């Protein structure tokens, strides 16, 4: 239990450090390199477009990250009263989280990177957090590849060029041919690639469960859920104004979580 509580503190700090490093590299290394292009137009320069797109991705990722932390899943007593707390057989979708030390409704899993349980109130924000984190990481990797390609005069036309970049750069770094800052960017490329793919896979898996009307906790426990149309399951999580939630980090706008019953 002590190890889990320690991980619940270390993982959010790790994520915030990666986010700060990514922001620093974008605005102090990649963008200044783009502004050095004398042929670029001033109004629609690559630096301006790149900065606007990256701000959009990072603002949505960090905004939904904060909302996941703020919107803790409802406790058992919030919707079912004192009688349900004394019941011998609580609803199958409830779960007691040892890290949070509470029983939550529509429990999906405990996310250590946010330090919070994922459930009815913050599921949509968690899915969007994974989506925009993966997009921000993969977009940062593309910008980093362009930077390394220009600085070290490396061509990535061959499909295996990215896979052989790290071992080649390590040998050149110890021989003095690659600077420490460039080596740090190369290491970040692989970290962005790994985080981006992991978040994208987790986002797709979570969306599949939402379409089925299930949670990860129900799948692990083998709890059967009543079949419903996938549109209704999707609307229950994302709400009616789902398109606005894709563009701007906002609270869940669907039905009240206390009115949602376990299916």
Tell me the catalytic residues. Answer: 111
Contact 96, 105 (CB under 8 A): no
Closest alpha carbon to 25 in 190, 232, 188, 240 = 188
End-to-end CA distance of the chain: 31
Cβ neighbours of residue 118 under 8 Å, at least 6 residues apart?
68, 73, 107, 108, 109, 110, 111, 126
Q: Which long-range contacts (CB under 8 A, 24 or more apart) does 6-11 make?
A: 7/112, 8/99, 8/112, 8/115, 9/115, 11/112, 11/113, 11/115
d(CA 122, CA 128): 10
Helix axes 180-212, 2-25, angle to 10 degrees: 120
Residue 204 tokens read as: 């797709």
Helix axes 46-70, 2-25, angle to 10 degrees: 160
Closest alpha carbon to 93 in 232, 234, 238, 220 = 220
Contact 178, 172 (CB under 8 A): yes
């Amino acid at each position: 239990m002590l190890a889990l509580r320690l991980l619940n503190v270390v993982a959010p700090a790790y994520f915030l450090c990666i986010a700060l490093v990514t922001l620093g590299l974008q605005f102090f290394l990649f963008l200044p390199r783009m502004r050095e292009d004398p042929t670029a137009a001033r109004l629609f320069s690559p630096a301006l477009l790149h900065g606007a797109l990256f701000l959009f991705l990072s603002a949505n990722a960090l905004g939904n990250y904060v909302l996941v932390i703020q919107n803790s899943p409802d406790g058992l007593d919030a919707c079912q009263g004192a009688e349900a707390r004394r019941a011998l057989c609580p609803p199958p979708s409830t779960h007691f989280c040892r890290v949070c030390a509470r029983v939550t409704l529509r429990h999906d899993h405990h996310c250590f990177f946010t330090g919070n349980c994922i459930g009815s109130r913050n599921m949509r924000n968690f899915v969007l957090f994974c989506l925009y984190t993966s997009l921000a990481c993969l977009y940062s990797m593309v910008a980093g590849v362009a930077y390394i390609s220009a600085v070290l005069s490396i061509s990535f036309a061959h499909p295996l060029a990215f896979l052989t970049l790290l071992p080649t750069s390590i040998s050149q770094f110890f021989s003095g041919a690659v600077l420490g800052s460039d080596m740090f960017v190369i290491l970040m490329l692989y970290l962005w690639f790994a985080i981006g793919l992991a978040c994208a896979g987790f986002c797709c898996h979570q969306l599949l469960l939402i379409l089925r009307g299930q949670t990860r906790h129900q799948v692990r426990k083998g709890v059967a859920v009543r079949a419903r149309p996938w549109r209704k399951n999707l609307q229950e999580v994302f709400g009616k104004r789902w398109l606005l939630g894709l563009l701007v980090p906002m609270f869940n706008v669907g039905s009240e979580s206390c009115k949602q019953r376990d299916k």
